[in-house]
Structure formats: C-alpha cells, structure tokens
Amino acid sequence: MVSSLGAPLVPAIARHYDLAVTDAQWALSATMLAGAVTTPILGRLGSGRLRRPVILGGLALVLAGSVLAAVPWGFAALVTGRSLQGVGLALVPLALAVARDVVRRERRSSAIALLSVSTVAGAGLGYPVTALVAEVGGLPAAYGLGGVLTAVTLAMAWRFVPASVGEPPARVDWLGAVLLSAGMVGVLLAVTRGATWGWLSLLTGGLGTAGFLLLAAWVAWTLRSPHPLVDLRLAARPGLFVPNLTALMAGIGMYGLLTLVVVLVQSDGGWGLDQPVTVAGLMLVPYSLASILGSRLERVIGRRLGSGALLPVGCLMFFGASATLAFEHDHLWQAALCMGIGGLGSGLTFSSLAVLMVPHVPRSETGSALAFNQVLRYLGFAAGASLSVTLMGVFGGGAAGFRAALLILSSTSVVAAAVAYGVGRREAGAGVGASE
C-alpha cells in the first residue's frame, strides 16, 4: 500500500511544490528504482538465518521513509523518503521464500500466486484511501498514514514472521548495486527531462549515454563476478526467460496505465474528466479487485488451456483494456470498466510468473531467481511511470498525447504475449514445459 502514495498524488505534488509533472513523477519513480536495486540486496542478505532480521530492518527503513516524506522539508526530502519506502517493495521475494518454507504443499501454489499479486492489489486498494486523506489533510497527512500502516505491519511481522535456519547470508555485490542504480537513474533522467533540456542537448545525450554505459558495465561485471547481485545466466534458462521478459514488458505497460488514468481523471482542458484526486484514486479499486480475481483465474486457465497460455492470455487482456481506454474515455464508467479488465489481465500475468518459475529453479536458487524477476518488474514500473507523462508531452499532450502514450506503452504487453507464445511452444516441443 505504500506504493499507493505515488501515482494519484503526483499532480498534487506538482502543485504543492510548483513543479512540472515530469519532475513530480520522481516521487513515484524513485520508489520503483529503490525497489529494483534493493530487491537483490535484501534477497541475499535475507537468505538463510538472517531472513527475519532483514524483514524487520527493511520495514524499519520504510517507516523512516514515511516519516521523512511527511515532514515539510521540501521536495528533496520527499524523494528521499519515497526512496526509503521503496525498500518495502524489495521484501516481496522474502515473503515468497517464507511461503515456500512454511505453507503446506497443497496450498503453496495458491499462496505464492496471491503474494505475487499483493503489490498490485495493495496499491489499488490504497489509492482511494490515500487520495482521500491527501485531499482532506494534504500531503503530510497522506504520508503520515503510510507511516501508521508501516508501523502496524512492523508490529505484525515482529509477532508472526518465523525465525529461519540455514547458512550465513550470501555476499552482496555492492559495486553491481551502484552500477545498476546509477545506470537506471541516468537513463530515466534523460528520458524524463529530455523535453525540458532538449532531446539533442549535451546534457540529455550525456546522461543517457552514461546511463547505458553504466548498465552495460553492470552486465559485464555481473557475468564475471563470483558473487553477482543477480544471476543473469540463471535468468536466461529455459522456463525462466519468458517470465523475466514478461515482468519487464508488462511492468512498463501496467504503470503506464496506472499513471495515465490518474492524469485522465484529473485533467480538464476539454479532454479529461476534471475530477478530484479522490475520484482518481477510486479508479484503481476495480483494477485492484480484478487483479485479485485474475490471480484466482490462473489455476482455472492453467487447467483448461495449459500453463503455456497463462502469460499470453493475461498480456493480451491487459492490452485490450489499455487500447480500449485510449479511444473510449469520455465517461468515468468507461475508465472503470477498462481498469477492471486491465486488472484481470495484470493479476493473471503477475500471479503466474512465480508459479511458472518455481518448478524450474532448485530450492537453493529460488531467492535469486525470484529476486531478479522482481527487479525486472520494478524497473518496468519505473520506466512506465517515467515514460507515460514524457510521451504525452512528446505527442502534444491532451487527448492525442494520452492516446499515443497509452498505445505505445501497452504495446509492450503484445510483445511479451508473442514471445511467451512462441517460446512456450518451442519449449513444449522440446519437452521443457512448466508444471504446477
């Protein structure tokens, strides 16, 4: 739910701090980037017997970030606090590891599927609550609510998360973490600020080039490091490549949709719906509820059509909802209906990822495999959030910009569906199919 303190509040943050929307968007992008970088770090630190202390320590950092975001110390403090809140997203793979250890075998797939979609569901359910609090009490009240929720979660984790046994935690590749985070920040800064600085300016080109070079250096370092931050060779194994590609591509489309629907509902100027932030938050409720239902459909579709159909069906449902909204958005009910259909596709897609991956991963490598998938998911979230408003500006804003940005970002789901279908058929022909 901490992630719900991002998308619907971006326009309010822009007004409060007198910023452009592309700048205010960093209140969301910083959280996703922090989640992407800290996920493999916490995954390694939290392996073995230190899992419980790492979970508790991670929640303490989220609590500190909520407090920092709530105090009136300026936009820099807000972004710093939101970055600390991103650590909470990195705890999801540890929750999956707990489930694999403590949940009975017959309920394990169901528990993993539900936990996999918890980030989406929590954000959707939190959007209307945090939006209402922000409208009544302002931004400090909204982030203060995040602090209260995190404090309650920390208390529950202290009471219920079991101690774990095993080997000492794996070594952390700190250099890899720095290269990954610096590279992503450079690329996203160039993308989000290019329209302001000029797409052909030295600053935009320099930052973008430096970001790509740092990401290339991270890949090279990771492939030869004895203790890589994430195992890229493991990520490309049969049965894992498609879920990893889908996590990145679907993540871009998903956060593009979540960001743009908020812009649509709050915009006027003759093309938007001109509604307050509370209504914008309510638009995420059908998405959230449908995503939970989509996670339940995973088992039904898997039994009827086979596990190879899960990702193509989910991605195409999401694209259909986004494409429909791009052309039909004159009324709130149209936005709500499209968000519900998009939630079904998103829930089916993201709940299937871990279920499809786990049978292909040795128990000792589960944390690393799921952590990398989570990294790609959060990188997709950050890219989708940043690109959405940037693409709107590139295509002139208004209805035309909204339509173009939504179609471009959601088309990544079509790419993911095509790859999932093609690779799935090839692996099935070779006898490398996913299993429950």
Q: CATH no. for residue 166?
A: 1.20.1250.20
295 shares a domain with 223: no
* Mean pLDDT rounded to a whole number for the chain: 82
160 shares a domain with 88: yes
Residue 216: per-residue pLDDT: 93
Contacts of 405 (CB under 8 A, 6+ apart): 256, 260, 387, 388, 389, 391, 392, 395
Is there a contact between 291 and 124 (Cβ–Cβ < 8 Å)? yes
Is there a contact between 308 and 406 (Cβ–Cβ < 8 Å)? no
Cα first-last separation, the chain: 29
pLDDT, average across residues 212-217 = 93
pLDDT (tens digit per residue) in 268-313: 867 888 888 778 878 888 888 888 788 777 777 777 777 778 888 8
405 shares a domain with 309: yes
Above 70 in pLDDT, residue 367? no
271 within a domain of the structure (yes/no): yes
Whole-angstrom CA distances from 173 to 38, 52, 217, 312, 313 are 11, 21, 14, 34, 37
203 shares a domain with 167: no
pLDDT (tens digit per residue) in 102-133: 888 777 777 777 776 676 667 666 777 877 88
Give dist(CA 62, CA 98) in Å, integer. Answer: 20
Residue 328 has a CB neighbour count (10 Å cut-off) of: 12
pLDDT (tens digit per residue) in 218-257: 989 988 888 787 778 777 777 788 888 888 888 898 888 9
Is there a contact between 179 and 214 (Cβ–Cβ < 8 Å)? yes
Give dist(CA 344, CA 304) in Å, integer. Answer: 17
Residue 436: per-residue pLDDT: 38
Amino acid in the structure at residue 19: L
141 within a domain of the structure (yes/no): yes
Is there a contact between 260 and 385 (Cβ–Cβ < 8 Å)? no
360 within a domain of the structure (yes/no): yes
346 shares a domain with 208: no
Residue 333: per-residue pLDDT: 93
Above 50 in pLDDT, residue 338? yes
What whole-number percentage of the chain has pLDDT above 70? Answer: 90
199 shares a domain with 282: no
Joined together, the tokens standing for residue 397 give 């804003």
Q: Which domain holds residue 216?
A: 173-228
Give dist(CA 167, CA 9) in Å, integer. Answer: 43
435 within a domain of the structure (yes/no): no
Give dist(CA 272, CA 274) in Å, integer. Answer: 6
Burial 400-430 (b: 16+ CB within 10 A, else e): ebbbbbbbbbbbbbbbbbebbbebbeebeee
Above 50 in pLDDT, residue 192? yes
pLDDT band per the 50, 70, 90 thresholds, residue 433 = very low
pLDDT band per the 50, 70, 90 thresholds, residue 169 = low
pLDDT (tens digit per residue) in 10-23: 777 888 888 877 78
> Cα–chain-centroid distance for residue 100?
22
Domain count, the chain: 2
Give dist(CA 74, CA 51) in Å, integer. Answer: 35
259 shares a domain with 152: yes
257 shares a domain with 242: yes
354 within a domain of the structure (yes/no): yes
Angle, helices 75-85/26-45, rounded to nearest 10 degrees: 40
434 within a domain of the structure (yes/no): no
Give dist(CA 118, CA 160) in Å, integer. Answer: 18
100: helix, strand or coil: helix
Residue 109: per-residue pLDDT: 73
125 within a domain of the structure (yes/no): yes
Give the single-character DSSP code of 112.
H
